[in-house]
Structure 1
Amino acid sequence: MSKPLRRGVSITGIEEFTNIKLGDPVRDAAGMLGVKEALKHGFKEMGVLRSMGALLKMNQKDGFDCPSCAWPDPENRSPVAEYCENGAKALADEATTAKADKNLFKKWSVAELSQLSDYELNKFGRLTEPLVLKPGSNHYEPISWQGAYDLIAQHLKELNAPDEAIFYTSGRSSNEAAFLYGTFARALGTNNLPDCSNMCHESSGVALGETLGIGKGSTVLEDLYEAEVILIAGQNPGTNHPRMMSALEKCKNNGGKVISINPLEESGLVNFKNPQHLSGTIGSGVQMADLHLPVKINQDIPLMKLILKKLATLDSIDHQVFDHAFIEKYTSGYQSFMNDLAQYDEEDLLERCGVSEASINKAVAMLRKSKKIIVCWAMGLTQHKNGVENIREFVNLLLLKGALGKPGAGTCPVRGHSNVQGDRSVGIQHFVDEAMNERIRKHMAFEPPAHKGWDVVESIQAMHEGKAKAFFCLGGNFLMAASDTQYTAEAIEQCELTVQISTKLNRTHLVTGKTALILPTLGRSEKDMNGDTKRYFTVENSMGKVSQSKGILKPATGNLRSEPQIIAEMANTFFDNHPLDWKRLGEDYDLIREYIDKVAKGFEDTSKRSEGHGFYLPNNVRNLDFSMLPEGKAQLTVNKLPEHTLASDEFMLMTMRSHDQFNTTIYGLDDRYRGVYNERRVVFINKEDMKDLGLQKLDIVNLNSTYDGIVRTARKFLIVPYNIPKGNIAAYFPETNVLVPYNHFAERSQTPISKSVKVRIEKIAAAEQRLIDSSELN
């Protein structure tokens, strides 16, 4: 039974429709329409001059890193437009001139604010000064920076044990901020360092660590240009990583092939119009995917097993399909893998995956003679009960083909946020790394905790059970990013203190502990000055390259502080005597980088080497060094088929982004690539399923999920017919995160099952439908 939340706040806002309009899905990604949309957002939020000045410096060597996705920058960059539509939207969102100041919070109570949508909350603009929400109060009010630090120190000193504090990190933070944040938590005495990786690519890290010895991808950007075949599985680059389209275009121009594996055929993999080329502005663009495999939700393993069986049959004839020299020298487990593969029935695999045999045979033909193969993936593979196994099965293909450790081949997990990989590289992790602990003892002169901390799932459970008293968020919108929104809200409210280091207002500022603080910070695009000295950060991209990021815009207000400064000043106030000079660390980022070089694995002379193009962190797979694994070899693995026992009236739901959002940040209400305008509360469903259920286009339905006897409901969604496999449906997060049970997650990685949720569709009674203004249903 859901509990009412403190102060009468809502986790959803008012569930109203916003005058939906439907059109045909747009089949061309980017192009001049993308340019128009990018500039429209920038000019509206920032003004023309501020917008153009910032865009010219984004992703440039002497500028700042895009605050959106982690796609790497090419060596030869466009001097005027090294960004995509969604990167421009992210910049406009961060650098907006709108302000969420003290007058806003004086006028609006937290309960009133919570009735607004996430889109409306974001539109209030930049936070301008520290704010406190006191016990029993319904309004945030200003507090001095030192007053905020004193309040934090008081609460931390009242803890019974350090593990009553939790330190969450989003992927937006710099290496310097993340390292200092992790150091503060460990100096306090806890490894409770959950981060956004736990909710997205943790399955990738576990799978790659088990099979290849490193929890990162092995490719560099130039590898995509040389690949013979690129498999894009469970990923929508046109919306989520648009600059990837340029790399795919180069692959295509060099004769490479692209195979898309996804329940939906996404526009970005149909046709790409590169606005930097004449053919992308007045021409027809480039066909991206040579083949689309519309796999059923979470049936990637049956699909891959069928492809591998067919390849194995061909290999048995000429012994030239698999790279047997590579297999013998670099891999372990080949015979066990082949014995397991032989037991599967091809007809059963074909039925499970839902892809036509003709299409599968085309994929086999493309892969048969190819040696340079790259597998790219995102949440469509990771956010399942068997997310780790999904990735391991694709790694099997690469190992059998010898497609690792050479140009044009390898693993490419595409990270969703701009420095989420860097956060982990500099020590944001809840597990114990004894080698890192020894380096902390040696170089930082304090004793780090030697026991495991909590990940995201464990942190939510701990808060819900009253085991945690203080919850810190370094960026992000934790409530709306996590699964099981109601349960997570109840968990957060158990805390005595919640602290958010943020640039803009979001729903996690409204669902709080008994006392709550908002500490406003600089955006990545803004100048970070220490007196007359301009400071810079470093970030790591999705392919392991570390480079500098230097903001160029005047800060939104004069009362903002950088993330490292905020963290250092919190620590300086809390610790009475400590071997680290926290005050100096908050002022001198070179000093932070010196500690990173000594403590974090693979970093060396970071301040110098991060200039210009930057540097790659070590990657054992690129050198075919698997010495850290059993037998010193990469591991071929045996992976079970997914088991989903659906009732006759249940569907498999995948949650996903619209084109007008990045993670939980909603830029607008359109998803033009899928033909939906001015609405987010929609369910994409196969027309045959609509007919079977007696549903019509734009009927209003509730979605219900039932796990462990608990029914969770997402209310009032509009039916939209779409080309999606029968028995599967799709809808946007965070609106449908309420359906994802907190205690169902991927084995070993504990990543929530956000891409394979069993749900029932409940049609709202006709009488209730008539209460909806018919003008909403154009």
Structure 2
Amino acid sequence: MSEKDIPGIEPYDGAAGGWGALGAVARALSGQMALARESIALHKVNQPKGFDCPGCAWPDPKETSSFEFCENGAKAVSWEATAKRVKPEFFAANTVADLWNLTDYALEGLGRLTHPLAYDADTDTYRPIAWDDAFARIGAALRALPSPDMAEFYTSGRASNEAAFLYQLFVREYGTNNFPDCSNMCHEATSVGLPESLGSGKGTVTLEDFDHCDAIFCIGHNPGTNHPRMLSTLREASLRGVPIVVLNPLPERGLERFTSPQHPVEMLTNSAVRIASTYYKLKIGGDVAVLKGMMKYLLVEDARALAEGMPGVIDRDFIAANTTGFEALVADIEATDWTAIERTSGLTRAEVEHAASIYARASKVIVCYGMGITQHAHGTENVQQIANLLLMRGNIGREGAGICPLRGHSNVQGDRTVGITEKPNAALNEGLRATYGFEPPVAHGHDAVAAVIAIREGRSKALVALGGNLAVAMPDTEETFAAMRGLDLAVHIATKLNRSHLILARQSFILPCLGRTELDEQATGPQAVTVEDSMSMVHASAGTLKPASEHLRSEPWIVGGIAKATLPATRVDWDRLVGDYNLIRDDIEKVFPIFRDFNRRVGAPGGFRLRVAASERAWDTPDGRAHFLLARGLDEDAPLAEGDLMLTTIRSHDQYNTTIYGLNDRYRGVTGRRDVIFLHADDLAARGLKHGDRIDVFATGANVADGKARAVRGFTAVAFDIAPGSVAMYYPEGNALIALESHDRRSGTPAYKSVPVRIERAVTHAVA
């Protein structure tokens, strides 16, 4: 059977970007039936007087063009600026049971929510409710809980700094630190691992550092889909001869070649710029093995150079002046066997040493990584091994070098900076105490996994979600859905309908909010919000479009309304803050002095960068030094049983996290479907299977340790150029295979990228 014989599967030979991207943008705009509205919005994306793209967190260049958006940014804008509306008449005509039968793509594709809604059990429908009535019922339900710690307060990374700050202020005055948020599911391993290594939980590079580096390593990420504007930065580096080394289990077109839509010659000639100079497809879970192998090579080459009277490869002056733990790392690396490195990584010693030789020859190196590093059982240690590699040659805290974690949602980093954390430190608590005069809770609260487990066990009975699609985003789909149905209260602040809204509590509310593209007018006039990108740049965002409904309210306004209804003796003047977002920023500065002179600095074109101490070689660790830290052996995850494969969940090119913009995955050659699983042809053949067969996938290992069978059935096998022993399927479809307990114990990050599985031919039943 050839690939063309399978419906919806045909190889795509084009580069990333190019005419394919422009065609996808045109289809996205026309599909939402608001061409004029969306076109106006696109001209404002990532502009100094416009709004920040609601997509990824890649930073804006200092010199912007009129075309500062990518294909997926255009999809995100069209999805929000759509002309489609979901009005009360629709909900009156469609029960929740009916809506449940729609796909996730169809649910969000219905359009923008227009009215606040409350669930009516008698009719099984959502019905419109007045804002004041919704707030009164929500406030009463929260006050009725025996303890504030029985409520969970989720945050999506699309929330602005202003909304997130007010949210954490409300929740802490209410009395809990239960802040499950989207960072828990993506880069929490970074937020935990880097402070231990470097004293800062953020990346150390700026966008300008890419202009000065002389090597880039890309590990476990896919910029063509998840942060497409990065491709322009990689393109420029490639054109000036910078080697770009990729370590990834799958070939990703955006890391192979790119045609820039902003360069007419490339478009007219249909030419492309090569991105990766070296591309190694390591096994899923082989990152630590490769990193230790590279460090092993550096130690050997350093000893050889010194013996020959040459300068060493290791920056021993930097290490002596700035770090601790190097001797223990050397002992660990020297005890690591090359045979084990090759077996675990899936690469040969020669391949690992070649990658290491590129690193050794370069004087200024940037390492970029994504969730292929963090979403493992030992994700925190994975992050720290990247830090080790960079510290060995002094590649932290100088121009053109550093560590670059690639965040997802546009303000996931900013939300954490302004207090969305289940682990508040003393400085945050003292800032709240001094500014508002109440005593904030100090006990650690729940992260996302802990929150769902608490809901499952009946220890939490309320959920308030500031955006997102939490139930669908979490692992263990069946368990999570069942747990959520046991809640007494569910409140969803959202722009569109999604499946989490259909998982009903005793009281369920949907509160429609303004989108990033829309004009936000409060008591003092039009307002701007702020966001922080992956490189700690804070800049303003101001929507200009007429709101999709006169009943929409901003996220800060909604948070303030819930707070006033819940806290009759509040110490916060919510109306004053909501009426003028400048005052929110003044208070952010009081609580977090890092935002010094916030309102003035954010008014400058491009905004300002928050201080990252490690970027200045100032190590905010207890001993004031950077730390070399050890990983436990080579396995990022538990070893596989005989015959098992390791599965990773991935995003299609037509989605952003749980939002499905369409059913195509252009760069992987998939059209109109998501029921596919990518495997190496040899792994299929070894199981008596072939390309196009229907297969069932069964979780094994830690994901069935609780005795519960987890499986997905009837998916189509696609032979793909993936590392042998590795399997990939789409997120969130693959979440059903992952137990809630399967996560990094240090960061709480679910192991979405490392799922031991068994593959079998699908069982078919004859129809009577």
TM tier, shorter chain? Answer: over 0.9
Write the distance in 2 (CA, Å) between the matches of 1:697 and 1:104.
Answer: 42
1:281 to 267, 276, 286: 267
* Cα-to-partner distance string for 1:329-373 (whole Å, 9 max, x where unaligned): 111111111111111111221122111334323212211221211
Write the distance in 2 (CA, Å) between the matches of 1:301 and 1:101.
Answer: 51
Write the distance in 2 (CA, Å) between the matches of 1:180 and 1:274.
Answer: 40
Aligned to 1:12: none
1:671 to 650, 665, 674: 665
1:158 matches 2:144: yes
* Cα-to-partner distance string for 1:396-445 (whole Å, 9 max, x where unaligned): 11000110111110010000100000000000000131111111111111
State whether residues 569 and 586 of structure 1, in contact with CA within 8 Å, keep that contact through their aligned partners in structure 2.
no
Q: How does 1:214-293 map to 2 (within 5 A)?
A: 214-283=200-269, 284-293=271-280
- Report the secondary structure of 1:578's partner residue: coil
1:391 matches 2:383: yes
2:540 to 520, 533, 548: 548
1:325 matches 2:342: no
Aligned to 1:186: 172
* Cα-to-partner distance string for 1:142-174 (whole Å, 9 max, x where unaligned): 111111001101101211111111100010100
1:532 Cα offset (Å): 7.1
2:614 to 613, 621, 625: 621
Write the distance in 2 (CA, Å) between the matches of 1:607 and 1:38.
Answer: 35
1:531 Cα offset (Å): 5.3
Q: How does 1:695-706 map to 2 (within 5 A)?
A: 695-706=689-700
Write the distance in 1 (CA, Å) between the matches of 2:146 and 2:429.
Answer: 24
Write the distance in 1 (CA, Å) between the matches of 2:181 and 2:287.
Answer: 27
State whether residues 31 and 275 of structure 1, in contact with CA within 8 Å, keep that contact through their aligned partners in structure 2.
yes
State whether residues 106 and 141 of structure 1, in contact with CA within 8 Å, keep that contact through their aligned partners in structure 2.
yes
1:748 matches 2:746: yes
Write the distance in 1 (CA, Å) between the matches of 2:524 and 2:453.
Answer: 46
- Report the secondary structure of 1:518's partner residue: strand
Write the distance in 2 (CA, Å) between the matches of 1:479 and 1:579.
Answer: 33
- The alpha-carbon distance between structure 1 residues 492 and 137, as it changes in their structure 2 partners (threshold 3 A), is farther
1:683 Cα offset (Å): 0.4
- The alpha-carbon distance between structure 1 residues 46 and 540, as it changes in their structure 2 partners (threshold 3 A), is farther
The TM-score normalised by the length of structure 1 is: 0.95
Deviates more, 1:730-739 or 1:711-720: 711-720
Write the distance in 2 (CA, Å) between the matches of 1:578 and 1:702.
Answer: 54
Write the distance in 2 (CA, Å) between the matches of 1:766 and 1:157.
Answer: 52
Write the distance in 2 (CA, Å) between the matches of 1:365 and 1:342.
Answer: 18
Which amino acid letter does the alignment assign opposite residue 301 of structure 1?
Answer: V
Which amino acid letter does the alignment assign opposite residue 29 of structure 1?
Answer: A
Aligned to 2:561: 569
Number of residues of Structure 1 aligned to a counterpart in Structure 2: 750
1:137 Cα offset (Å): 4.5
1:400 matches 2:386: no
* Cα-to-partner distance string for 1:460-494 (whole Å, 9 max, x where unaligned): 01111111121000000001111111111122112
The TM-score normalised by the length of structure 2 is: 0.96
Aligned to 1:53: 40
* Cα-to-partner distance string for 1:528-582 (whole Å, 9 max, x where unaligned): 0125711110100110011100001111011000000001011122222222111
Write the distance in 2 (CA, Å) between the matches of 1:134 and 1:599.
Answer: 41
- The alpha-carbon distance between structure 1 residues 26 and 663, as it changes in their structure 2 partners (threshold 3 A), is farther
2:727 to 726, 729, 747: 729
Deviates more, 1:326-335 or 1:556-565: 326-335
2:676 to 682, 686, 695: 682
Write the distance in 2 (CA, Å) between the matches of 1:458 and 1:397.
Answer: 32
Q: How does 1:120-135 map to 2 (within 5 A)?
A: 120-135=106-121
Write the distance in 2 (CA, Å) between the matches of 1:136 and 1:301.
Answer: 55
Q: How does 1:321-360 map to 2 (within 5 A)?
A: 321-360=313-352
Write the distance in 2 (CA, Å) between the matches of 1:738 and 1:20.
Answer: 25
- Report the secondary structure of 1:140's partner residue: strand
State whether residues 279 and 285 of structure 1, in contact with CA within 8 Å, keep that contact through their aligned partners in structure 2.
no
1:450 matches 2:437: no
* Cα-to-partner distance string for 1:249-308 (whole Å, 9 max, x where unaligned): 121223211111100010001101111113431342110000011110011011111111
Write the distance in 2 (CA, Å) between the matches of 1:46 and 1:56.
Answer: 18
Write the distance in 2 (CA, Å) between the matches of 1:717 and 1:426.
Answer: 42
- Report the secondary structure of 1:539's partner residue: strand
Q: How does 1:32-47 map to 2 (within 5 A)?
A: 32-47=19-34
Write the distance in 2 (CA, Å) between the matches of 1:761 and 1:137.
Answer: 43
Write the distance in 1 (CA, Å) between the matches of 2:572 and 2:623.
Answer: 42
1:712 matches 2:683: no
State whether residues 687 and 760 of structure 2, in contact with CA within 8 Å, keep that contact through their aligned partners in structure 1.
no
Aligned to 1:311: 298
- Report the secondary structure of 1:498's partner residue: strand
Write the distance in 2 (CA, Å) between the matches of 1:143 and 1:731.
Answer: 40
1:655 matches 2:635: no
* Cα-to-partner distance string for 1:46-99 (whole Å, 9 max, x where unaligned): 533222211111000000000000000000111x21010000000001111101
Write the distance in 1 (CA, Å) between the matches of 2:548 and 2:241.
Answer: 47
State whether residues 375 and 412 of structure 1, in contact with CA within 8 Å, keep that contact through their aligned partners in structure 2.
yes
Aligned to 1:295: 282
Which amino acid letter does the alignment assign opposite residue 32 of structure 2?
Answer: E
Q: Give the gaps of 5 or more residues in structure 1.
A: 1-18, 772-778
Aligned to 1:776: none
State whether residues 111 and 496 of structure 2, in contact with CA within 8 Å, keep that contact through their aligned partners in structure 1.
yes
Write the distance in 2 (CA, Å) between the matches of 1:603 and 1:552.
Answer: 26
